[in-house]
Amino acid sequence: MCVKTNPDLRLMRVKDRVPVLEAVPFKVGDLEKNALEAALQLRDAAGGGRIVAVAVAQGDRKIRETMKEALAIGADEAVIVADPALDETDQAGVALVLARALEQSGPFDLVLFGEGSTDGYSGQVPSRVAELLDLPELGYARALEVSGAGPDGAGAVLRAQRSMGDTLETLEAALPAVATVVSEINEPRIPTLMSIMKAGKKPVAELTLADLSLDAAALAPLRAIKSNLAEEQLRKRVLFDGEPAAQAEALINALVAEGVLGR
């Protein structure tokens, strides 16, 4: 499965419409935890298997420390791709690196992602990885199961259920495949103290672009972010005087006039 570390948004503040990440800790993304929990449940249902957490190190995201969290939750090993050229690449570059790392770490039956990351939330990387690996993708799964596997795992089929508004849709694809999961698929488990202690002994492989036969030119971003500012909000500075009942009525009228409430 693929993991991205994200800043803890609960501790992030905004100054002059710009997010301030200084001293904000990084952690395994919430949706990545859902994907990891889905992998653990599939492994339990199959009676065994190996879960490899693959991550791309971009910037100072404390990737090595946060990957220990994925190992503590239940991943068997981790693979980290680190190179200065990765700091400026975009989703296309990240997908290329992940696809190469997955191929090198394989063989595998299933590649799991969260539906998006809690910082960028572009949702592009899983589809790009599936295309690069020439695999089917089952997206936005709220339930996953594998069936039909023989003694050697051959003939296995992945079945995914996803919500399509007022209906539920079930998709199937032969393994190997790529899948993304939504947050309602499960409740990620909290690692125990014993599993946290054991995480430090699990294998962690660190790869460079050279190990993947890639260079910085292959990761040149295809797009540039012109601006990333928080929405500008102007205070109305409206004051209400009088008795509490009159103030409440004036507040309701003001909210109706702004379109916040309907009458």
Both 54 and 151 in a single domain? Answer: yes
Report the CATH number that the domain containing residue 68 is assigned in CATH.
3.40.50.620
* Domain annotation covers residue 49: yes
* Alpha carbon distance 118, 31 (integer Å): 7
Label residue 149 by pLDDT band (50, 70, 90). low
| Position 152 confidence tier, pLDDT thresholds 50, 70, 90 | low
Q: Does one domain contain both 205 and 246? A: no
Burial pattern 27-66, b for ≥16 Cβ within 10 A else e, equals: bbbebbbbbbbbbbbbeeeeeebebbbbbbbbeebebeeb
At 26 the pLDDT is 82
Contact of 147 with 156, CB cutoff 8 Å: yes
Whether residue 122 has pLDDT greater than 90: no
pLDDT single digits (tens) 193-233 = 999 999 999 999 999 999 999 988 888 888 777 777 767 76
Q: What is the mean pLDDT of residues 238-252?
A: 88
pLDDT of residue 214: 92
111 occurs within a structural domain? yes
At residue 168, the pLDDT reads: 93
Cα atoms in the Cβ-side hemisphere of radius 13 Å centred on 161: 8
Domain shared by 41 and 86, yes or no:
yes
Q: Is the pTM of this model over 0.85?
A: no
Q: Please check whether residues 100 and 194 belong to one and the same domain.
A: yes
